[in-house]
Structure 1
Amino acid sequence: MASLSREIVVLILQFLKEENYMEAMHRLEKESGFFFNTEYFGEKFLAGVWDEVETYLSGFTKLDDNRHSTKIFFEIRKQKYLEALDRQDIAKAAEILYNDLAFVSTSNEGVYKEITLLLNLPNFRLNPQLSTYGNTQNARSIVLGEVKRLIEANPLFREKLMFPTLSSSRLRTLINQSLNWQHSFCKNPRPNTHIKTLFTDHTCPNPNGGAAANAGALDNWMADESADKPQPRQLAEILDPSHCRQLTLPDTTGSSTKVARLLYMNSAVGILALGIDGIQRLWKWVKIEENPRGKATTNVAPQLWQPDSGLLMTNDVSRVNLKGSTPCIALAKNDSYVMSAVGGTASLFNMVTFEVMTKFLQRPPASTFLAFYPQDQNIIAIGMEDSMIHIYNLQTDVIIAKLNGHKERITGLAFSTTLNILVSSGADAQLSVWSLYTWEKRKSVAIQMPAGKPASGDTRVQFHVDQIHVLAVHETQLAIFDASKMNCVRRWIPQDSLSAPISSAVFACNSKLIYTAFRDGNIGVFDADSLRLRCRISPSAYFPQGSQGLSPLVVAANPKDPNQFAIALNDGSIKVIEPTEAEAM
């Protein structure tokens, strides 16, 4: 292991020197054996390279480790068996049956007899259970989805599925933070100094610098850090469209429906919007020459995605008063399915085919907030209109627990796997903490309201990447709580140039920044540690010319790039915004 680790370190240093960051990360991921690379596994599975699939899988689990592992190997070998039958290669099919699938004869004799009988059929699709098998590629995709779900549910894979997401922009951010610290010691610091490399110490060559930073040419939302002496603490202001890069998501449907919820896909290749009419729209960036990684960017417009069937991801809103409903949505961490509801039945959608996989909660009260449990995507917390929280198992269709502690509807839910807690927020301006295993309430605290403000209104909660500090967002404030004690450690109240009520706020993916939308159209970029305002983006910088009555409703942060966010406006449009020259960080 020592020599392997040394080799990996050498490879990483080599790739970093060549600035091939993602290749370094993938090489580390594949060769270390500490993290399960679902992307690599999926590629080999869809290619039907079964020996490599099993070899890679065997580095993490063996066939008889537990029932999840046994089922994973069974599904893989059964697919290999069916493909041999489909090719009419009976000899190969028999070899797989008697060698690879022999373990089934002792664990489930009935199933083994049933799959053995397939050898005698001219086409195994004559078996009623396999009549919808389809073609090989389709079948592989379906089985891969099932295998991935089994892997996520397998306790042996816990803590091995989430590799640290280090994009090139993140690594350049680390370089900038290091060199900006050096820059603070320059005798004659230049504003907007161009810092390129980590391999040489930084100094400012021009002794005549020292002017204030030009707010219109920021390299990133934290760019005033280099000029942040105790006395230039200036506020960067973006007033003109040329001072930030932006893109309006194309919509050929001509829809002007307000967006109630906005999410990036966890892979950062798309954006998902849930309208107040119950229809979900998905935009995806594709791999092209101008965008070889196919990630979200303002350089290239994404496509409004739709399957060949023409299906829309539409929630059941029959018998629902849309004006009084609370739309809610949650995306599985592997981006394979999404759950949503708009005042009525909750539906689980397949993100590839847009088909409804299952429906539940078909009777009142309605669900108002959804959150998947990070370590088992079959478990979901459902906040309800009647102030209850249901912990629900999608696979078994069983409510595990009902949590009772709020007085008004649930408006936010967030899990911490570090503290083993669920934090909930309600329209009663209360935050409650629940144990993940016993589901008992540990503590409940009230959000401190400014003088004259009622203790009501929606509160959203989101955990910092440290999984200890939690951001609570209310129209009257941003507040950071230490969730281990549930005491407020920092608070910011709208004031000065940002005095309008807050409509939405989220952590950047690295939790260094908080993107905050205000109802008057301003956007504030806050330092998450101090809640100090770093940058104000004026409505004039991103509203269309001559627009009136526009307002940002909800903001979403890119899960891979800390310098990019998306905003949904009340005219139904969605914009992606990032700083000028973000790629040069």
Structure 2
Amino acid sequence: MKYFEDEIQNGNWDDVEKYLSGFTKVDDNRYSMKIFFEIRKQKYLEALDKHDRSKGVEILVKDLKVFASFNEELFKEITQLLTLENFRENEQLSKYGDTKSARAIMLVELKKLIEANPLFRDKLQFPNLKNSRLRTLINQSLNWQHQLCKNPRPNPDIKTLFVDHSCGQPNGARAPSPANNPLLGPLPKAGGFPPLGAHGPFQPIPGPVPTPLAGWMSNPPQVAHPSVSGSAIGLGGPSIAAALKHPRTPTMNPSLDFPTGDSDHMSKRARPMGINEEVSLPINVLPAPFQGHGSHTQAFSAPDDLPKTVARTLNQGSSPMSMDFHPIQQTLLLVGTNVGDIGLWEVGSRDKLVLKNFKVWDISACSMPMQAALVKDPCVSVNRVIWSPDGVAYSRHVVQIYSYHGGDDVRQHLEIDAHVGGVNDIAFSHPNKQLCVITCGDDKTIKVWDAATGARQHTFEGHDAPVYSVCPHYKENIQFIFSTALDGKIKAWLYDNMGSRVDYEAPGRWCTTMAYSADGTRLFSCGTSKDGESHIVEWNESEGAVKRTYIGFRKRSLGVVQFDTTKNRFLAAGDDFAIKYWDMDSTQLLMSVDADGGLPASPRIRFNKDGALLAVSSNENGIKILANSDGLRLLRTFENLSYDSASRTPEAPKPMINNAIPAAVPTSAGITERVASVGSVSGANGDARNITDVKPRIAEESNDKSKIWKLTELSESSQCRSLKLPENMRVTKISRLIYTNSGNALLALASNAIHLLWKWQRNEHNSSGKATASVSPQLWQPSSGILMTNDVADMNPEESVSCFALSKNDSYVMSASGGKISLFNMMTFKTMTTFMAPPPAATFLAFHPQDNNIIAIGMDDSTIQIYNVRVDEVKSKLKGHSKRITGLAFSHALNVLVSSGADSQICVWSSDGWEKQKAKYLQLPPGRTMAAQSDTRVQLHHDQIHFLVVHETQLAIYEASKLECVKQWFPAESSALISHAAFSCDSQLIYASI
């Protein structure tokens, strides 16, 4: 500690981190994370204090960026410090003193964190060494080396320690190195000490040459091979992807793991795994912003973030076996049951959109074993349902894949006779950017199929028992698949024909599923043994060893336990008639929720993508939807809509506005992050399929785009929650209004060119800190009292076109009110720059989604200018409209810019070279004529593939790449004009005013 303190006091930051890295990494636990954060934050502040902005930016990008994914708000605030002349202008840093005192204060905090960190236990005091301890170790090592000599001499001659000892042969020839002799098998170890240098010229007998993923080999075959020298292990060993490329030889003694001789970190000590005491240390250590000046740890306020409240109760009609939420439409739930039914629920409105019973689509195309199995026993259970598109794995031979087109429009896509026996799991992946479906089954194989054509691409054989689950993933551009079998074996496969890269055993040695955290950095498995013992563990990917074992299960589970992960922080499992939660960084049970009772012994569970909702199977064929505060707010949006579900039949179209979701919207990461859940392999309890299959929508209705939109009128104030926002500017008219991307503030541009900003605070009345009509926000201004006011030149701002746009991180607003375009800092309200004096005047603005320095500017002369703020230069001028630009929207998924103009034309431009790809004029309803000037607005759908077009005569949904209209709606009254419309935040609804 003394050396560590001295280096900090001297400001030797590189040496500080290098020394600290010998004991821990940034992502080992939250104690370590905060230690690194405090050090890097201090280095950053010192650079700003010296007015060395370039150094500050370098530290921000290289050192502090890693924390942005854990606390984005904090990272934004730190970034804002670059814009201040003196960072002490920030209220939280107003008491920051000089460098010396700041380092001293930080040291006090670091000492507390280090003492509390389990990884530093027994490492803070230098151990007491007996005299001549080093000599003893050397002698033991030499004795061990001498026992390996093929012709040991009675009195060996030791001349140097720089190479391993070896006695020469009687005739003077040097004995061959055991490491290079492929015929020698493993020798009994003499003592417990490995060689001092694992890659010296005289190596001990190595273990077998490992296949890639060698760190995962628990029982390597006992056949000797020539030694293979892998790359240096470095800190914590290679990742799985590195192990696939560079296998390393395991040490002879499996209880010891010494670094190799060419390691840069020879003194690194092994980290303890699964320390139970970690949870009892009373400290919240996600990076806090500044010493003693408030906290930004709200993203880690554990139990409040978890779904605990029963918000919906649904009845499926048969017992749910597998469930999966849509990756984009957060309230759309897919369910598979024990009698082969699949159901599709809109949990917000409690509507069952689809119910399909199991039937083989083409029995003649099925194999004879499958036909015989169905004749013998027609009862079939769904083992797995999953989106992307929605695939269904049945317990007999077959996989059925549907394409989903919104609402209740589910269409047959592919039926694959995949395995002999049951299909136990399915997953989707994107090897080589091609959507594939992966299946596994009772025939002990894993198969990879083209999701578009159904062509089989790979068959992986090597398991000795039925394969229970699959978990595809990719790391460092290497795609691989984990598979687990009913004998507890776990194997890993690349998309080739080279066989399994891994062979080891999972805890429980029976039904095991694997899943990564949402960010793909942490690997977990959940398994139940034949005796009912359940295990959830976190794996050390670089070692193939269990890193942490979570405790809190019933001693004898009464079924196979399912689990899921959420928010890169929490684990959940259905056990002992309840849902149990764990913090990923603690082995202790965090909490248990019984969901008001009525749960089976081992309920099926599934989080939605944001973790705000949790679907849980319940007794009597039920499903309970648990929600946290964000989930409850999401579901309340449906309570204000007047659905008439009682009058619906299964054949009727359902109220879905955005039913243009293509089948392959979700990415492989969006699917594989939740691939852990698998239903029971068997368990059909009779054929209860007494509900008729959903009939396809008739062609005439599909073609009539106006009939499949459900209209709900909100004409009374009681149908909405309203709140008058406080303001003291005497504003007569608001020209533009927008929520911030973080959802905790509202920005307005008034007709007098002044901006107003309202912020919602996090408090006991508003635990989320998000915008709500239940709590009044504060009209926010910086302490300087300045206002964000646009340049108006000689124009009357009341008559000019106002426009503004927010940067993706809410740090900047770009705005114009007929004069120059202004760029404001949202934290300080300072004007960063002004540019582009009229004419022409700006009429619409949009930030590039990948680069805040690139701005698309629509002008009143019908052009679109692509402007780079950093170099103050127009990079491109786009011409294609004939009247002023009224709408702009970027799609980062398609790399296009969509524009609309007062000429009622829509254009699609490539954002790579800024060429026009397609253009189309709006189709007017019969009997309507085009106005001389008519604004057309565009807004991207949540999927980044479709967009909403708002015109006074219509609302329409277009597919961006083809510029095809897929939905269209006209007001019923020919005289009614639409004044404005917008998607809801999840793009499931459209709100319009007439």
TM bracket, shorter-chain basis: 0.5 to 0.7
Aligned-partner residue type, residue 221 of structure 1: L
Residues 897, 911 of structure 2: 8 Å contact kept:
yes
- Does structure 1 residue 362 correspond to structure 2 residue 531? no
Residues 37, 64 of structure 2: 8 Å contact kept:
no
Q: How far apart, CA to CA, are the structure 2 residues paired with 1:366 and 1:512?
A: 35
Aligned partner of 2:38 in structure 1 is 49
1:71 CA displacement: 7.6
Residues 329, 986 of structure 2: 8 Å contact kept:
no
Aligned partner of 1:219 in structure 2 is 639
Aligned-partner residue type, residue 248 of structure 1: K
1:199 CA displacement: 3.1
1:292 CA displacement: 1.8
Aligned partner of 1:409 in structure 2 is 884
Aligned partner of 2:695 in structure 1 is none
Q: How far apart, CA to CA, are the structure 1 residues paired with 2:734 and 2:852?
A: 25
Aligned-partner residue type, residue 279 of structure 1: I
Q: How far apart, CA to CA, are the structure 2 residues paired with 1:236 and 1:502?
A: 15
- Does structure 1 residue 277 correspond to structure 2 residue 752? yes
Counterpart secondary structure, 1:320: coil
Aligned partner of 2:934 in structure 1 is 457
* Higher normalized contact order (CA 8 Å, seq sep 6+, divided by chain length): 1
TM-score, reference length from structure 2: 0.34
Residues 322, 342 of structure 1: 8 Å contact kept:
yes
Residues 41, 64 of structure 2: 8 Å contact kept:
no
Deviations 1:326-349 (A, max 9, x none): 101000111111000011111001
1:465 CA displacement: 1.3
Flag the structure with higher helix content. 1
803, 808, 813: which one aligns with 1:338: 813
Residues 183, 226 of structure 1: 8 Å contact kept:
no
- Does structure 1 residue 501 correspond to structure 2 residue 977? yes
Q: How far apart, CA to CA, are the structure 1 residues paired with 2:797 and 2:103?
A: 60
Q: How far apart, CA to CA, are the structure 1 residues paired with 2:652 and 2:977?
A: 30
Residues 345, 359 of structure 1: 8 Å contact kept:
yes
Q: How far apart, CA to CA, are the structure 2 residues paired with 1:183 and 1:502?
A: 29
Q: How far apart, CA to CA, are the structure 1 residues paired with 2:939 and 2:653?
A: 32
99, 115, 119: which one aligns with 1:87: 99
Residues 431, 445 of structure 1: 8 Å contact kept:
yes
Alignment of 1:245-284 (within 5 A): 245-256=721-732, 258-284=733-759
Residues 184, 227 of structure 1: 8 Å contact kept:
no
Aligned partner of 1:299 in structure 2 is 774
Q: How far apart, CA to CA, are the structure 1 residues paired with 2:798 and 2:922?
A: 27
Counterpart secondary structure, 2:958: strand
- Does structure 1 residue 241 correspond to structure 2 residue 709? no
Aligned-partner residue type, residue 731 of structure 2: S
Deviations 1:176-207 (A, max 9, x none): 7258354987xxxxxxxxx9963324499xxx
Q: How far apart, CA to CA, are the structure 2 residues paired with 1:336 and 1:217?
A: 29
Aligned partner of 2:61 in structure 1 is 72
Q: How far apart, CA to CA, are the structure 2 residues paired with 1:52 and 1:315?
A: 35
Aligned-partner residue type, residue 808 of structure 2: K
Q: How far apart, CA to CA, are the structure 1 residues paired with 2:331 and 2:890?
A: 27
Counterpart secondary structure, 1:49: helix
Aligned partner of 2:346 in structure 1 is 177
RMSD value, Cα: 4.7
Residues 410, 425 of structure 1: 8 Å contact kept:
yes
Aligned-partner residue type, residue 389 of structure 1: I
1:227 CA displacement: 5.5
Q: How far apart, CA to CA, are the structure 1 residues paired with 2:917 and 2:353?
A: 46
373, 378, 381: which one aligns with 2:856: 381
Counterpart secondary structure, 1:494: coil
Residues 731, 750 of structure 2: 8 Å contact kept:
no
Q: How far apart, CA to CA, are the structure 2 residues paired with 1:250 and 1:335?
A: 22
Q: How far apart, CA to CA, are the structure 1 residues paired with 2:764 and 2:803?
A: 36
Q: How far apart, CA to CA, are the structure 2 residues paired with 1:181 and 1:75?
A: 46
Greater radius of gyration (CA): 2
Q: How far apart, CA to CA, are the structure 2 residues paired with 1:90 and 1:292?
A: 33
Q: How far apart, CA to CA, are the structure 1 residues paired with 2:834 and 2:57?
A: 25
1:472 CA displacement: 0.9
Q: How far apart, CA to CA, are the structure 2 residues paired with 1:196 and 1:72?
A: 36
After superposition, the Cα gap between the structure-2 partners of 1:167 and 1:380, relative to the gap in structure 1 and judged at 3 Å, is farther
Q: How far apart, CA to CA, are the structure 1 residues paired with 2:761 and 2:915?
A: 45
Aligned-partner residue type, residue 334 of structure 1: N
Q: How far apart, CA to CA, are the structure 2 residues paired with 1:419 and 1:249?
A: 38
Counterpart secondary structure, 2:856: strand
Q: How far apart, CA to CA, are the structure 2 residues paired with 1:75 and 1:31?
A: 13
Deviations 1:124-161 (A, max 9, x none): xxxxxxxxxxxx979x99xxxxxxxxxxxxxxxxxxxx
After superposition, the Cα gap between the structure-2 partners of 1:235 and 1:383, relative to the gap in structure 1 and judged at 3 Å, is closer
Deviations 1:43-67 (A, max 9, x none): 979x96135899xxxxxxxxxxxx9
1:304 CA displacement: 1.0
Residues 270, 283 of structure 1: 8 Å contact kept:
yes
- Does structure 1 residue 473 correspond to structure 2 residue 473? no
Q: How far apart, CA to CA, are the structure 2 residues paired with 1:262 and 1:167?
A: 32
How many residue pairs end up in the alignment?
Answer: 382
Aligned-partner residue type, residue 385 of structure 1: D
Counterpart secondary structure, 2:979: strand
After superposition, the Cα gap between the structure-2 partners of 1:69 and 1:434, relative to the gap in structure 1 and judged at 3 Å, is farther
Aligned partner of 2:267 in structure 1 is none
Q: How far apart, CA to CA, are the structure 2 residues paired with 1:356 and 1:435?
A: 31
1:167 CA displacement: 11
Aligned-partner residue type, residue 779 of structure 2: L
Q: How far apart, CA to CA, are the structure 2 residues paired with 1:511 and 1:217?
A: 12
Counterpart secondary structure, 2:616: coil
1:75 CA displacement: 9.4
1:69 CA displacement: 6.5
Q: How far apart, CA to CA, are the structure 1 residues paired with 2:637 and 2:787?
A: 41
Q: How far apart, CA to CA, are the structure 1 residues paired with 2:972 and 2:785?
A: 48
1:173 CA displacement: 3.3
Residues 317, 343 of structure 1: 8 Å contact kept:
yes
- Does structure 1 residue 328 correspond to structure 2 residue 328? no
Q: How far apart, CA to CA, are the structure 2 residues paired with 1:227 and 1:167?
A: 35
Counterpart secondary structure, 2:966: strand
Q: How far apart, CA to CA, are the structure 2 residues paired with 1:167 and 1:494?
A: 42
Aligned-partner residue type, residue 773 of structure 2: T
Counterpart secondary structure, 1:322: coil
- Does structure 1 residue 487 correspond to structure 2 residue 964? yes
- Does structure 1 residue 390 correspond to structure 2 residue 810? no
Q: How far apart, CA to CA, are the structure 1 residues paired with 2:804 and 2:866?
A: 16
1:454 CA displacement: 1.7
After superposition, the Cα gap between the structure-2 partners of 1:291 and 1:203, relative to the gap in structure 1 and judged at 3 Å, is closer
Aligned partner of 2:986 in structure 1 is 510
Higher mean alpha-carbon deviation, 344-353 vs 314-323, is at 314-323
Counterpart secondary structure, 1:312: coil
Q: How far apart, CA to CA, are the structure 2 residues paired with 1:510 and 1:203?
A: 23
Residues 224, 236 of structure 1: 8 Å contact kept:
no
TM-score, reference length from structure 1: 0.56
Aligned partner of 1:199 in structure 2 is 617
Q: How far apart, CA to CA, are the structure 1 residues paired with 2:940 and 2:952?
A: 18
